[in-house]
């Protein structure tokens, strides 16, 4: 395709025709020449808005882009309603590339009952690989918003599922040949399938019902980065048992192969939470088939301590994600 806005025929054929999920709250949605979308909410509801790009990989970019933004909304206790998209394609990109990205996005949106409400699609020399930015729009009842800043001393700190899921899946897909030369193909394929765990919408909705005080989806910077951001935002200290942080063996193997730290690897699909009674929340999550574990406590002060048997060390501010050392 040539540089500039994609032709109207391509827009209709490979973008608009891929959008099937509709929400009654959306009064004005995607269409030729439409630059805005409109959403109607009830009197006791509030807008929740988030935006995120995917820049670290072009593999499954449509799938990742939607999950990441919906997870941001979920971490605020909001129900995702719709998304606005910006898709930038490099010069020479094929219409098939665009259609594939849109197809991936619609699959995730259909599963989450989220409408693609509009956006912008362009071919440009400014990028060398597809770049997708998603603006998510959600709704929440007044007084029910959950903040990263809501943790209090005495709260239990817990995580859902496992760390490193997103990073492991990306690496297993992009570096399949290298990994298959070292590991059984079954291990590589299992890691590739970690993308089935990327959504945190189910655990966030349940956690809101059971009194969660703070939530933060574990993305760039990994669990160490997310713990720091939760503590910094809430003005608390932390005591975290390193050995309780759940991690898949496939993630450990892949990280050892590339010489990277799984605790600083992008981890969409893992939700960090703070709750007054973390064990009760864990039990309810497990009843719904969502693996979760209490990994530590929020404490007074500013010390963010990692405990590993007799060893004590301090968390540091988030660094560049480990994924960028490999891809």
163 and 84 in one domain? Answer: no
How confident is the model over 277-318, as pLDDT tens digits? 999 999 999 999 999 999 999 999 999 999 999 899 999 998
Strands 214-217 and 45-54, how do they pair?
unpaired
Instruction: Tell me 247's DSSP state.
Output: B
CA-derived radius of gyration, the chain: 20
Q: Round to whole Å and give the CA distance between 81 and 239.
A: 36
pLDDT band at 27 (very low <50, low <70, confident <90, very high): confident
Percentage of the residues of the chain whose pLDDT score is greater than 90: 84
182 and 110 in one domain? Answer: no
Q: Which of 89, 121, 141 is the last residue of a domain?
A: 141
Q: Round to whole Å and give the CA distance between 1 and 321.
A: 33
What is the predicted pLDDT for the residue at 114?
97
225 and 96 in one domain? Answer: no
For the chain, the first-to-last Cα distance in angstroms comes to 26
CATH number of the structural domain spanning residue 214: 3.90.650.10
169 and 75 in one domain? Answer: no
213 and 312 in one domain? Answer: yes
CATH number of the structural domain spanning residue 102: 3.30.1330.10
Instruction: Reply yes or no on whether the pLDDT at 4 is more than 80.
Output: no
Instruction: Reply yes or no on whether the pLDDT at 33 is more than 80.
Output: no
Contact call for residues 132 and 61 (beta carbons, < 8 A): yes
154 and 119 in one domain? Answer: no
Interaxial angle between packed helices 185-192 and 249-258, expressed in degrees from 0 to 180 and rounded to the nearest 10: 110
The domain tally of the chain equals 2
Q: Round to whole Å and give the CA distance between 229 and 236.
A: 10
What is the predicted pLDDT for the residue at 304?
97
Average pLDDT of the residues in 174-183:
97
182 and 62 in one domain? Answer: no
Q: Round to whole Å and give the CA distance between 158 and 138.
A: 25
What is the predicted pLDDT for the residue at 128?
93
Parent domain of 30: 4-141
Q: Which of 109, 124, 141 is the last residue of a domain?
A: 141
Q: Round to whole Å and give the CA distance between 306 and 173.
A: 32
């Amino acid at each position: 395709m040539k540089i500039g806005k994609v032709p109207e025929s391509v827009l209709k054929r490979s973008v608009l025709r891929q959008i099937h999920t509709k929400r009654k709250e959306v009064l004005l949605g995607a269409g030729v020449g439409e630059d805005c979308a409109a959403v109607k909410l009830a009197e006791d509801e509030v807008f929740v808005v988030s935006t995120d790009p995917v820049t670290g990989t072009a593999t499954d970019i449509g799938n990742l882009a939607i999950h990441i933004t919906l997870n941001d909304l979920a971490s605020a206790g909001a129900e995702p309603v719709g998304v606005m998209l910006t898709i930038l394609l490099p010069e020479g990109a094929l219409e098939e590339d665009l259609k594939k990205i849109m197809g991936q996005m619609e699959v995730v949106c259909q599963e989450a009952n989220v409408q693609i409400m509009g956006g912008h699609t362009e071919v440009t020399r400014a990028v060398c690989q597809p770049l997708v930015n998603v603006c998510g729009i959600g709704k929440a009842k007044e007084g029910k918003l959950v903040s990263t800043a809501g943790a209090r001393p005495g709260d239990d700190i817990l995580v859902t599922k496992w760390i490193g899921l997103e990073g492991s899946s990306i690496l297993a897909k992009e570096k399949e040949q290298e990994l298959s030369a070292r590991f059984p193909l079954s291990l590589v394929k299992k890691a590739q399938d970690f993308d089935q765990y990327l959504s945190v919408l189910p655990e966030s909705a349940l956690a809101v019902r059971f009194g969660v005080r703070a939530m933060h989806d574990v993305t760039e910077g990994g669990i160490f980065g997310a713990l720091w951001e939760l503590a910094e935002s809430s003005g608390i200290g932390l005591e975290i048992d390193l050995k309780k942080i759940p991690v898949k063996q496939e993630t450990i193997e892949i990280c050892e192969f590339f010489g990277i730290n799984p605790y600083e690897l992008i981890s969409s699909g893992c939700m960090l939470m703070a709750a007054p009674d973390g064990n009760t929340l864990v039990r309810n999550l497990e009843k719904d088939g969502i693996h979760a574990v209490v990994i530590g406590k929020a404490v007074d002060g500013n010390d963010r301590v990692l405990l590993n048997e007799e060893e004590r060390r301090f968390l540091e501010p988030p660094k560049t994600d480990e994924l960028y050392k490999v891809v």
